[in-house]
């Protein structure tokens, strides 16, 4: 079980994960692959948990005014703002923008160029969830490749990101084909009002009274389905469901299990996670930024034990997970 726990301090950043590593304004990004390989273009990227989950979880850490360049994905990409303030922009010319704060969540559709910038005054950190085990990689806007090559970086099919300032391109190596401007212009865009429908703003959240875990709750705790097929804040269909528990000290959920894999992300507070299986039992305390992967059919309890209000995200590897089973 300890191998399924990733403390915030155990997440190892890579600063050369993508083609824009040397581009000014994008050169100080920390990229993290926490569950699954994600979409990194550097084979040396450290992955904390390689076990397939049906989705990938990563993170990005950025100092103020550092950007993540325009890109698109073949599966849905969700941003969860953990620390700081980020401006999300989308469209081939970054023509649409909105600002997200801590606790806000956005789900960006496929075939839509997007990027983000830390517009706060402190180091910013956001978690990402990508649908599927094999995400298909990342597609960059044509101008990202142009800017990267001006600073010595190219993307090779066999080697990933290659720094031509350090070594010449290997003989016979093939460059990744750059999307034409015409192809890029055919990608989707959304008005700011349309994208707002894909945003969960923490200031507007209202707990649900009929959430799946509500019947087993105790103390002061609320449940919300952030992403899902049924009565969710953001429309689902991305291959996973995302829920949020908010609780004061002493609020929790009784012993239960579910058929699917579930990943917990502690956004705020301190959460005690207990489990039992075949006569064995255990307990971990998740602090801010920690992540814990729970296998299927494992009985577990959740309790907020910190003096500050807690927020705990749950990502489950089904669009419509089965109902939890309760245990004495």
Global pTM value: 0.91
- pLDDT (0 to 100) of residue 229: 92
- Within 10 angstroms of residue 308's Cβ, the number of other Cβ atoms is 12
CA–CA dist 114, 92 (Å, integer): 8
Continuous segment of H or E residues that includes residue 265: strand 262-268
pLDDT by residue, tens only, the chain of 328 residues: 999 999 999 999 987 767 777 677 778 899 999 998 767 767 778 999 999 999 999 999 999 999 998 899 999 999 999 999 999 999 999 999 999 999 999 999 999 999 999 999 999 999 999 999 988 888 888 888 777 777 777 787 777 777 887 888 888 888 877 788 899 999 999 999 999 999 999 999 999 988 999 999 999 999 999 999 988 999 988 899 999 999 999 999 999 999 999 999 999 999 999 999 888 999 999 999 999 999 999 999 999 999 999 999 999 999 999 999 999 8
- pLDDT (0 to 100) of residue 83: 98
Question: Which DSSP category does 189 fall into?
Answer: -
3-state SS class at 148:
helix
Exposed, middle or buried, 144 (CB in 10 Å: 0-12/13-18/19+)? buried
Query: Same CATH fold, 205-326 and 2-199?
Result: yes
Cβ proximity of 79 and 100 under 8 Å:
yes
Residue whose token pair is 């489950």: 316
- Superfamily assignment of 2-199 in CATH? Jelly Rolls (2.60.120.10)
E-state strands within 50-195: 55-62, 67-73, 77-83, 86-90, 96-100, 105-108, 114-118, 124-131, 138-140, 153-156, 160-163
CA–CA dist 295, 152 (Å, integer): 44
Continuous segment of H or E residues that includes residue 31: strand 30-35
Cβ proximity of 155 and 92 under 8 Å:
no
- pLDDT (0 to 100) of residue 87: 98
- pLDDT (0 to 100) of residue 156: 79
What are the extents of the domains in the chain? 2-199, 205-326
CA–CA dist 224, 204 (Å, integer): 12
Asked: is 205-326 a CATH 2.60.120.10 domain? The reply is yes
- Long-range contacts (CB closer than 8 Å, 24 or more residues apart) made by 6-13: 6/34, 6/48, 6/49, 6/290, 6/291, 6/292, 7/287, 7/289, 7/290, 8/287, 8/288, 8/289, 8/290, 10/48, 11/48, 11/59, 11/289, 12/46, 12/48, 13/61
3-state SS class at 170:
coil
């Amino acid at each position: 079980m300890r191998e399924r726990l990733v403390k915030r301090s155990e997440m190892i950043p890579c600063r050369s994960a993508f083609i824009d590593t040397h581009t000014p304004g994008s050169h100080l990004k920390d990229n993290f692959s926490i569950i699954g390989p994600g979409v990194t273009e550097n084979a040396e990227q450290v992955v904390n948990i390689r076990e397939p989950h049906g989705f990938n979880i990563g993170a990005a850490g950025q100092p103020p005014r550092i950007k993540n360049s325009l890109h698109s994905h073949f599966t849905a990409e969700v941003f969860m703002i953990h620390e700081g303030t980020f401006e999300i922009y989308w469209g081939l010319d970054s023509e649409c923008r909105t600002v997200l704060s801590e606790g806000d969540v956005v789900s960006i559709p496929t075939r839509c160029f997007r990027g983000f910038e830390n517009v706060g005054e402190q180091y910013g950190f956001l978690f990402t969830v990508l649908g599927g085990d094999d995400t298909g990689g990342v597609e960059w806007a044509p101008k990202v490749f142009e800017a990267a090559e001006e600073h010595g970086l190219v993307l090779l099919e066999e080697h990933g990101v290659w720094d031509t300032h350090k070594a010449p391109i290997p003989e016979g190596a093939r460059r990744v084909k750059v999307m034409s401007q015409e192809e890029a212009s055919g990608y989707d865009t959304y008005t700011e009002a349309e994208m707002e429908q894909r945003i969960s703003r923490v200031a507007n959240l209202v707990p649900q009274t009929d959430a799946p875990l509500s019947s087993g709750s105790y103390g002061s705790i609320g449940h919300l389905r952030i992403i899902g097929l049924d009565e969710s804040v953001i429309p689902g269909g991305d291959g996973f469901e995302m829920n949020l528990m908010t609780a004061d000290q002493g609020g929790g959920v009784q012993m239960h299990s579910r058929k699917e894999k579930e990943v917990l992300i502690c956004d705020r507070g301190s959460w005690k996670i207990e489990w039992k299986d075949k006569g064995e039992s255990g307990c971990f305390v998740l602090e801010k930024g920690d992540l814990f992967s729970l296998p299927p059919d494992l009985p577990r309890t959740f309790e907020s034990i910190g003096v500050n209000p807690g927020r705990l995200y749950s990502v489950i590897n089904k669009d419509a997970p089965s109902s939890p089973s309760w245990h004495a």
